[in-house]
Amino acid sequence: MKAAVIQQLGTVPVYSEHPDPSPSGDQLIIHVKASAVKNLDKLRASGKHYASYTELPAVVGIDGVGELEDGTLVYAQGISGMLAEKALVRKGQFVRLPEGLDLVQAAALPNAVIGAAMALRYRAQTKPGDVVLINGATGVTGQLAVQLAKHDGASKVIATGRNEAVLNELKALGADEILLLSNSDEEIKEQIKRIHRETPIHCVIDYLWGKPVELIIAALQGGGVNTFTSRVKIVTVGSMAGESIALHSGSLRSSAIEILGSGLGSLSKEDLADFFTTVLPEVFNLARNGKLQLQTHVVPLSEIETAWNMELNGGTRLVVSID
């Protein structure tokens, strides 16, 4: 079969022949149709991730959509690499795709759904009427978070980012107010303070960490004696602006800020089971019905070597078509 194969860690996958996978036990063959290239895929191939490949050569790609031997179209995480014509998946560990869902969208969505839906619903526990700030909303996951927050009944969604053009586009996807992070620190803090006074922010879904979060915390903290603040959950999902922040004790003592994380390590076994049985099928149906939009750039598997390090707009997901 044809596949995207690395011969050694730190190299770019090459389109080449590779032995067909051989199923055993509870394994099934999936004929892959499309697979998204994500940061995790690149990190594993680079050798810089704790789950990097230990046996080489290896087919890359952790998940994708395809057709089982009985013709059922599904999304699944692969036992073997999914950037290939065929891969192995486990029986029962897949999500059936609704009829009419675009396969490219189906391949692009799941990773972003984990970073958006799980942060909103399971860690922040948002409810209808909440005011939600998406910090770093111009990336793939941030854009999806804006749409899901609005779908889940947020009364107001604030989107932050450095790309003004994409921020303006987010207004059509559910953002009620935008905040440009290239503004001065004082402008950013004053804008957040104003919003918080007018419509208290219930949660911040953060994809940046670093300085932008320091500014948000400074804007949300209270004024001390005889002042009262609204409870705010800050849920960090990513760290594009830095891995650490300066957090002063007084910032927490003077406010009702709660800081949480959202990632595989923070989600329970039950949360992850619910992701596959409830959340992902729901999002697939929303996408099928045109209620969610995700920008994609599609390339054929044969072009994987040149596409692997392709520079794309931060809000666009690279998807490889296997057909």
- Looking up residue 253, the CATH number of its domain turns out to be 3.90.180.10
Please give the pLDDT value at position 226: 46
Residue 313: pLDDT band (50, 70, 90) is confident
Please give the pLDDT value at position 323: 79
**Is 58 in the same domain as 93?**
yes
Q: Is 317 helix (H, G, I), strand (E, B) or coil?
A: strand
Considering the domain boundaries, does residue 227 fall inside one? yes
**Is 247 in the same domain as 193?**
yes
**Is 141 in the same domain as 254?**
yes
CB 79 within 8 A of CB 87: yes
**Is 93 in the same domain as 140?**
no
**Is 303 in the same domain as 207?**
no
**Is 255 in the same domain as 300?**
no
**Is 239 in the same domain as 311?**
no
Structure tokens at 90: 């486990």
**Is 17 in the same domain as 62?**
yes
Considering the domain boundaries, does residue 63 fall inside one? yes
Residue 221: pLDDT band (50, 70, 90) is confident
Tell me the residue range of the domain where 310 lies: 2-111+293-321
Q: What are the angstrom distances between the C-alpha of 130 and each of 32, 57, 179, 236, 300?
A: 40, 49, 18, 18, 42
Number of domains forming the structure of the chain: 2
**Is 52 in the same domain as 138?**
no
> Within 10 Å of residue 182's Cβ, how many Cβ atoms?
10
Considering the domain boundaries, does residue 268 fall inside one? no
List, for residues 97-130, the tens digit of each pLDDT value.
999 999 999 999 999 999 999 999 999 999 999 9
Helix (H) or strand (E) run with residue 177 in it: strand 177-180
pTM: 0.92
Domain stops at, among 261, 284, 302: 261
List, for residues 255-272, the tens digit of each pLDDT value.
889 999 998 889 999 999
Considering the domain boundaries, does residue 120 fall inside one? no
Instruction: Collect all residues with Cβ–Cβ distance below 8 Å to 263 and sequence separation of at least 6.
Output: 237
Structure tokens at 129: 């009427």
**Is 105 in the same domain as 169?**
no
Considering the domain boundaries, does residue 274 fall inside one? no
Residue with tokens 């911040």: 204
Residue 223: pLDDT band (50, 70, 90) is low
* CA–CA separation, 178 and 157 (whole Å): 9
Considering the domain boundaries, does residue 277 fall inside one? no
Please give the pLDDT value at position 188: 97
List, for residues 6-31, the tens digit of each pLDDT value.
999 999 999 999 999 999 999 999 99
Considering the domain boundaries, does residue 117 fall inside one? no
Residue 184 has pLDDT above 60, yes or no: yes
**Is 129 in the same domain as 153?**
yes
Q: Which contacts of 302-310 are long-range, i.e. CB under 8 A and separated by 24 or more positions? A: 302/2, 302/15, 303/15, 304/4, 304/13, 304/14, 304/15, 304/83, 305/12, 305/13, 305/14, 305/15, 307/37, 308/12, 308/13, 308/37, 308/42, 309/12
**Is 106 in the same domain as 138?**
no
Considering the domain boundaries, does residue 246 fall inside one? yes
